[in-house]
A and B are shown apart, each in its own frame.
Chain A
Amino acid sequence: MHLDLWNSVAIVFGFSVLVIALDEYVAKPWRHKRWEERAQSGDKEAQELLKVARSAKVSNE
C-alpha cells in the first residue's frame, strides 16, 4: 500500500481513537473485574491495593 501524508494522518488518528475507545470500554473494565476477582478469591495483595485505591479521595482541582 502506498502511504502519503494524508492517509498516514488518517491512519494514526484512527488508531489513536481506537486505542482510547478500547482502553475506556474494554481494558479498564476487564482489569477492574480481574482485580476484584483476585481480591474476592483471597489474594492479600489485591485486597490491600484495592483498599488503598478505593479510600483515595481524588481532587480534580
Chain B
Amino acid sequence: MALDYDVPEDKRALYWLGDQLIEWRNPVMVLVLIVTGLFAYWTFQLRLVTSFGDLVPQSHEFVKIHNKYSGTFGGANNIVVMYSVEDGTIFTKEHLTAIFKMTEGMDTVYGVNHNQIESIGHRTVRHLKVAAGGTLRAEPVMLRAPQGQDEVDETRRIVHNAENVYGLIVSLDDKSALIRANFIEGRLDYQRIFDDVNSKVIDPFKKDGVEIYAAGEPRLYGWVYKYSGDVFFILVVTYCIEWVLRWMYFHDWRGSLRPTLTGIIAAFWGLGFIHLIGLALDPLMLVMPFLITARAVSHAIQMHDRYYEEFEKCGWHKRRAIVAAFAELFVPTFSGITTDAFGVLVIILVPVVMLQKLAITASWWILAITVSEMLLNPIVYYYLKPPEPELVVLRERGAFRRWIERFTHVLLSPAGKTTTLVFWAALTLVGVFFMRGLTIGDPTSASPLLFENSPYNVSHTKIQESFGGVEPLIVVSEGYDKDAMKDPQVLRTMEKFQRQLERDPDIGYSFSLADIIRAVNRVFHELEPKWAVIPDSWTDIGGLFFIFFSGSPPTETAKYVDPSYTTAHVTFFAKNHQGDNIRRIIQRCKNFIAENPMEKASFKLAGGLIGVLAAANEELVRNDILMNFLGFFTIWIILLFTYRSFVCGLYILGPLIASNILVNAYMAVNNIGVNIHTLPLVTVGVGFGVDYGLYIISRIIEEIQVKGDLDHAVREALVTSGKAVTFTAVTMIVSTAFWITSNIRFNAEMGLLLAIWMSVSYVGSQTLLPVLVAVFKPKFITREANTKAPKPALAAAARQA
C-alpha cells in the first residue's frame, strides 16, 4: 500500500519510511529475528567475570611499577585470614596445629602465589637460629604442627623474638595470628578462590572459642559474586511490577507486551555483543544493563502511547496510526538514543580498560534500541490486533489524564511559573553547597561494595582492630646497579621513610629490608638491643644478608630483595583505603622522596592495593570534569543538529545540569564516592536524563506548528507527551529503586542513586523546562508557529468519528 493520503510535508520521508517498513515487514522481520537469534545464542555464553587488570589504569606510572614488581614483592590481591581465640592465647598445641593446617590449606587454594604466603606455619616465614659452633641460619618458625608442649613453648619464644613476626603476623596480645596470601593476577578466579578458602582454610577449623575472619580484595569479590544471584530476584520482581504498571496505564496487555519485546531484543543485542567482542559481565556493573533495558522499555512506552493517540486521530485506521506514531516520534526517539549512546561513549576517555569496554558495549547496546524500537516497532504493531476503540477512548479521559491537566494548569499560571523558577534556583544553590563534599575514591574505611554489617566488612574491621592495617602500599627502592640494596645510605633512607610515614594516623605498620638487617645484626651480636642498627659498611651488610638468606631458595628471598640486590621495597600497611587518606599518604611519600634523594637508588611509587587505588583515583580526578564537560557537550551538539538551534541545548541541558548538581550533592551527603564503579553510572544518568526533555520539546514544536500559540503548545505537550513521560519516569524509577533490596551495597546505592537522578531529571523536565520555554519564548520554538496546517486526513477522520 502506497502513501496515498495527506501527511505533513516536512515529515513525508519519515511517513514513507514507516510505511515501507510495514510493506517489507516479512523480510525485515526474518532478518532481525535471525540476527537476534545469533545474539541470543552469544548472550547465553556470557559469564560473570571481573578482571583485576581491567580495573586499574594501565598507563599510569604507579600501575606500571605495580605490574613490574607484583610478581615478586606482592600485588594488590591479598587474602588475609585471621585466626583469633576468645580465651587464652594461640600458643597451645590445638591452636598452633590449626594455624599450621590452615596455612597448608591456603597453600592449596587455586591461584595462590606459593612463595608469598605469610604465616607462622609457612616455610617462607623464618627466624634466625644460632647453631652449635656459633653459626647462624634462618629457619622456618614452625617446621611442623607442634607435637608437645615443649614445641609450643619454643614457637612462642621464637615469635616473641622475631621482628618480622611479632606484631605483624601474630598480634601483640598473642590472641590472633594472620595468614596472608598473595594471588597471581593472571589466575584470579574469585568464585573458585572464595569456595576454596571456605572449604580448605575456614570451615574445617571453626569451633567454639575460635573466630576466623577473612578479608582482602579477592575475598571481597568472592562475596560480590556470591550475592550477584540477587539480580534474578530483582529482575523477576521488577518485570512483574512493570507489567502490572503498564497494564494499568494502557488498560491492555499489548501495552505490557510491546515494550517487553523491545527490551528483550535490545538486551540480546547488547549482551550478545559483549560476548562477541570477548568481554564478560562484571557483577558490579549489573545495574548498567538493567538501566539500558529500562531505557529501551521507556522509549517503547512513549511509542505505544503515541500509537493509541494516533489511532483515534487517524479515524481508527491501524496502519496510518502506526506510521504516524513512527514518523512523529522519530526525531525525539532517535535523538534520545544517540544522546544516550554518545553520552556514554565519552567514558572511553578514562584510561581504565573496564570503563573503556563498558563505554563501547553500553553505546552499542543503546544504539541497538534503534533496531528493536524503530525498525521493528511498526512491524510488531502491524502484526498485533489493534486495541478496542472503547479502551482508547476511555483511557484518554481517565483520572491520570485529568490529574496531569490540573497540574499543568497550576504550573503554567503566573504564580506557578515564579514558584518553579525560585524553587529550582534555591535547590540548585543548596546542591552546589553540599556537592563540595564529594569524594574521589572510597569515602569509608570499610568496603563500600558491601554493607557495613556484611560478613566481609565485619572481618575487615576485626583484622584492622587486631593488627592495625592490612592494605598494602608498596614503594619500590630501585637501585641503579647491582648490590645497591647493600648500601648503608639506601637502607637508612628506607628505615627513615618507614619511621616518617608511620606517623600518619592511617598507616598501621611497615616492613622493609632495613628491618631484616637490624634484626640479623642484633642476633649476630647475642641479642644486644644496641646492635639493632644498620651497619656502616656494605661488606658488613652483605655478610649479614648472606647469613639470613643463605638457607633460603631465591624464590623465597625474592619477596624481600631481588637476587642481585638491586631492588627491594618498603611496604606500608594502611588501615583503610579512603580516598582522602590515600591522597594524603601518597603526597607524604612524594614529599619524603623529594627531600631524601639517594645516591645509589631511587624510590618508585607505588604498588599494592593502595598504589593502584591511588592511580585510579588520580585518573578519575583528571578525567571527571573533562568527562562531564564532554558528556554535556556531546548532547548539546546532537541537539544543535536535531533542532537547528544553539540555544535549544541550553534549555534542555539547564534542568539536566541542575539534576547533576543535586545528585552529586546527594552522593556527597551520603558518603558515596566517585570511583571506577560509580563514575559510569553517573555518566549514564546524564545521558538518560535528557530523553524526557526531548519528548516535551518535540511535542511543543509539533503543537505550535499547527496552532501557533506557545502557551497552548506547552500545555498540550505536558498533557500528552508529559503524561507518557510521567508514566515512563514512574516505571523506571520504581524498577531501578528496587535494586535497594540487593545484598551488594554498591548495587543498592547505585539503584537508589539512579532512581533519584531520574526523579530529579523528570521533575526538571516537567516543571523547569516548560516554565523556561513559556517565560523566555525561545526563537527555535516560536519561529515554527503556524508553519503547518492541521493534518487534513486526520482532521477529517476526527470529524467522522
Which of the residues A15, A24, A50 comes within 8 Å of B390, measured between beta carbons? A50
Cross-chain contact A19 with B244 (CB below 8 angstroms)? yes
Interface residues of B in 233-275 (CB under 8 A from A): 233, 235-236, 239-240, 243-244, 247, 251-253, 256-257, 260
Q: Is the CB of A11 within 8 A of B236?
A: yes
1/0 per residue B390-404: CB within 8 Å of A?
Answer: 111110010000000
Question: Once the chains bind, are B239 and A12 in contact (CB under 8 Å)?
Answer: yes
Instruction: Verify if B385 is at the interface (C-beta below 8 Å from A).
Output: yes
Cβ-neighbour of A59 out of B252, B319, B397 (below 8 A)? B319
Known: A12-B239, A16-B260, A23-B247. A57 touches B390 (CB 8 A): no
Is B801 in the interface zone, CB < 8 Å from A?
yes
Query: A20-B253, A53-B389 given as contacts; is B232 within 8 A of A59 (CB)?
Result: no
Residues of A within 8 A of B315 (CB): 56-57, 59
Q: Do B229 and A2 touch (CB < 8 A)?
A: yes
A30 to B646, CA, bound (A): 52
Contacts of B247 in A (CB 8 A): 19, 23
A5 → chain B closest CB, angstroms: 7
> Are B319 and A31 within 8 A (Cβ)?
no
A-B contacts at CB below 8 angstroms, number: 86
CB pair A52 B244 closer than 8 Å: no
Q: Which residues of B contact A23 (CB under 8 A)?
A: 247, 252-253
Contact of B801 among A3, A31, A52 (CB under 8 A): A52
B256 touches A52 (CB 8 A): no
Q: Known: A49-B394, A52-B801. Is A60-B232 also a contact (CB below 8 A)?
A: no
A15 near B239: Cβ-Cβ < 8 Å: yes
Given A2-B229, A24-B253, are A58 and B239 neighbors across the interface (CB < 8 Å)? no
B456 at the interface (CB under 8 A from A): no
Q: Are B317 and A59 in contact (CB under 8 A)?
A: yes
Q: In whole angstroms, how far apart are the Cα atoms of A30 and B489 in the complex?
A: 91
The answer for the CA separation of A20 and B252 in the assembled complex, in Å, is 8
> Number of residues in B with C-beta < 8 Å to the partner?
33
The answer to whether B393 touches A5, judged by C-beta atoms less than 8 angstroms apart, is no
With A3-B229, A4-B229, A4-B232: A12-B240 Cβ-Cβ less than 8 Å: yes
> Is the pair B318, A3 in contact by a Cβ cutoff of 8 Å?
no
- Is A55 located at the chain interface by the 8 A CB criterion? yes
Give CA–CA (A16, B255) in the complex, Å. Answer: 12
B322 to chain A, nearest CB (A): 11
Contact partners of A54 in chain B: CB under 8 A? 390
Q: 1/0 contact trace for A1-44 toward B, CB 8 Å?
A: 01111011001100110011001100110011001000000000
Chain B 316-332 interface mask (CB, 8 Å, partner A; 1/0) = 11110000000000000
Given A19-B253, A59-B317, A60-B385, A8 and B801 contact (CB-CB distance below 8 Å):
no
List residues of chain B with CB within 8 A of the CB of A16. Answer: 243, 256-257, 260
- Name the distance in Å between A51's Cβ and chain B's nearest Cβ: 10
Given contacts A53-B394, A56-B801, A60-B386, contact A3 B256 (CB under 8 A): no
What chain A residues lie within 8 Å of B389 (beta carbons)? Answer: 52-53, 56, 58
Is B390 a contact partner of A53 (Cβ separation < 8 A)? yes
Residues of B within 8 A of A20 (CB): 253, 256-257
Q: How far is the CA of A36 from the CA of B670 in the complex (A)?
A: 54
B1 within 8 A of A: yes
Q: Once bound together, how far apart are the Cα atoms of A59 and B314, in whole Å?
A: 10
In the complex, what residues of B have CB within 8 A of residue A7's CB? 232
Q: Could you tell me the dominant secondary structure of chain A's interface residues? A: helix
Residue of B nearest to A49 (CB): B393
List residues of chain A with CB within 8 A of the CB of B235. Answer: 8, 12
What is the bound-complex CA distance between A49 and B233, given in angstroms? 42
Are A19 and B385 in contact, CB atoms less than 8 angstroms apart?
Answer: no
A58 to B316, CA, bound (A): 5
Please tell me which one of the listed residues A35, A45, A59 contacts residue B316 in the complex, with CB atoms under 8 A apart.
A59
| Residues of B contacting A56 in the complex (Cβ-Cβ under 8 angstroms) | 315-316, 389, 393, 801
Distance in Å from the Cβ of B671 to the closest Cβ of chain A? 31
Complex-state Cα separation, A32 to B240, whole angstroms: 25
**Distance in angstroms between the alpha carbons of A31 and B390 in the assembled complex:** 10
Contact B240 A15 (CB under 8 A): yes
**Measured CA separation A61–B706 after assembly (Å):** 28
Q: How far is the CB of B736 from chain A (nearest CB, A)?
A: 18
With beta carbons under 8 angstroms apart, the residue of A3, A31, A50, A60 that contacts B251 is A31
Contact between A49 and B397, CB atoms less than 8 A apart: yes
Bound CA–CA A59/B5 (angstroms):
15
B263 to chain A minimum Cβ distance, whole angstroms, is 11
Q: Within the assembled complex, what's the spacing in Å between the Cα atoms of A45 and B397?
A: 10
Q: Contacts A3-B236, A59-B317, A60-B385: A35 and B394 contacting too (C-beta < 8 A)?
A: yes
Docked Cα-Cα span, A12 to B260, in Å, equals 11
What residue in chain A is nearest B390 (Cβ atoms)? A53
Distance in angstroms between the alpha carbons of A39 and B252 in the assembled complex = 22
Most B CB atoms within 10 A — which of A24, A32, A45, A52? A52
Separation in Å of the B312 CB from the closest CB of chain A? 8
Instruction: For residue B21, give the distance in angstroms from its CB to the closest CB of chain A.
Output: 15
What's the Cα separation between A8 and B238 when bound, in Å? 12
CB distance from A33 to the nearest CB of B (A): 12
Chain B hits for A2, CB < 8 A: 229
The complex places the Cα of A23 from the Cα of B568 at a distance, in Å, of 73
Known: A16-B260, A23-B253. A58 touches B318 (CB 8 A): yes
* In the complex, chain B residues whose CB is within 8 Å of the CB of A60: 318, 385-386
Neighbouring B residues of A12 by C-beta, 8 Å: 235-236, 239-240
Contacts of A19 in B (CB 8 A): 243-244, 247, 253, 256
- For B240, the chain A residues whose CB sits under 8 A away are 11-12, 15
- Nearest-Cβ distance from residue B682 to partner chain A, whole angstroms: 28
A52 contact set on B, CB distance < 8 A? 389, 393, 801
Residues 1-44 of chain B, each 1 if its beta carbon lies under 8 Å from chain A, else 0: 10000000000000000000000000000000000000000000
Residues of B within 8 A of A4 (CB): 229, 232
Q: Which residues of A contact B385 (CB under 8 A)?
A: 60
The minimal Cβ–Cβ distance linking B255 to chain A, given in whole angstroms, is 10
Interface bits B115-149 vs A (CB < 8 Å: 1, else 0): 00000000000000000000000000000000000
Provide the residues of chain B in CB contact with A49, threshold 8 Å. Answer: 390, 393-394, 397
A residues in contact with B388, CB < 8 Å = 28, 53
With both beta carbons as reference points, the residue of chain A lying nearest to B44 in the complex is identified as A5
Known contacts A15-B239, A19-B243, A35-B390; is A59 also within 8 Å of B318 by CB? yes
The interface residues of chain B lying within 8 Å CB-to-CB of A55 are 801
Instruction: State in angstroms the CA–CA spacing of A60 and B22 once bound together.
Output: 13
Q: Residue on A with the closest CB to B397?
A: A49
CB nearest neighbor in A for B320? A59
A43 to chain B, nearest CB (A): 12
Nearest opposing residue in chain A for B240, CB measure: A15
Expressed in whole angstroms, the minimum distance between the Cβ of A16 and any Cβ of chain B is: 6
> Of all chain A residues, which has the CB nearest B396?
A49
Cα separation A24 to B423 with both chains bound (whole Å): 46
Report Cα–Cα, A32/B393, bound state, in Å: 12
Q: What residues of A have a CB within 8 angstroms of the CB of B252 in the complex? A: 23
Chain B residues with Cβ under 8 A from A35's Cβ? 390, 394
Contact partners of A61 in chain B: CB under 8 A: 1, 317-319
| Alpha-carbon gap, A15 to B620, bound state (A) | 43
> Considering the chains assembled together, what is the distance between the CA atoms of A2 and B232 in angstroms?
9
Knowing that A31-B251, A61-B317 touch, tell me 18 more A-B residue pairs with CB under 8 angstroms. Answer: A11-B236, A12-B235, A12-B239, A15-B240, A19-B247, A20-B256, A24-B253, A31-B394, A49-B393, A56-B316, A57-B315, A58-B316, A58-B318, A58-B389, A59-B318, A59-B319, A61-B318, A61-B319
List 20 A-B pairs, Cβ < 8 Å: A3-B233, A4-B229, A11-B240, A12-B235, A12-B240, A19-B243, A19-B247, A19-B256, A20-B253, A23-B253, A28-B388, A53-B392, A55-B801, A56-B316, A56-B801, A58-B318, A59-B315, A59-B317, A61-B1, A61-B319
A-B CB proximity, top 4 nearest: A53-B390, A56-B389, A3-B232, A23-B253
